[in-house]
Amino acid sequence: MSAGETRLPYGVISGRKLVMTFSAFDIDLPVIAAGIRERIDVLRELDVAFAGFGTEVPEDMSAQRPAVVKCFFEYVGTGGDVGTVLKRAYHLVWSGMVQNFPDLETWAAAKADLSNLTIAQAEVIRARRGD
């Protein structure tokens, strides 16, 4: 950890920036987006700007090394304790994700649907390649 850097369980605060990281095996982009959307008004009141998110796929992705989803935030205010504000933003995003997470039955059905879609896409690719 470098000077001026604060490590959180799933993120790092460095200067005026907060980078939250999630395993793509555990958390889907729509869940993260819903959590951010749920709390975006409060983040704005804290002068924290959402700067985007995306998936970082490692070259050697495996069951032991999944893709990483990163979310970027920046404190755009003046004054105040930047670290405290960004820690608050971190907790707000997590609470928004929990608030918006579907019930277990709905989530399981969505995962099954996504699995079926992935299998169908793989079959189309195989058919196009003539496998």
Q: Please tell me which residue, 26 or 89, carries the higher pLDDT value.
A: 89
Same domain? For 54 and 108 the reply is no
The CA radius of gyration of the chain, in Å to the nearest whole number, is: 18
Provide the number of structural domains found in the chain: 2
Pick from 19-28, 55-64, 70-79, 118-127 the range whose average pLDDT is largest. Answer: 70-79
The pLDDT value given to residue 63: 66
Cα separation of the two ends of the chain:
48
Specify the pLDDT at position 51.
96
Same domain, residue pair 60 and 44? yes
Q: What's the whole-number mean pLDDT along residues 65-90?
A: 93
| 81 and 113 both lie in a single domain | no
pLDDT of residue 101: 81
73/75 Cα distance (integer angstroms): 7
Asked if 91 and 31 sit in the same domain, the reply is yes
Asked if 90 and 20 touch (Cβ cutoff 8 Å), the reply is yes
- Give me the domain span that covers residue 107: 103-131
Residue 1: which pLDDT band, with cuts at 50, 70 and 90?
low
Of 117, 114, 88, nearest to 30 (Cα)? 114
Which pLDDT belongs to residue 52?
95
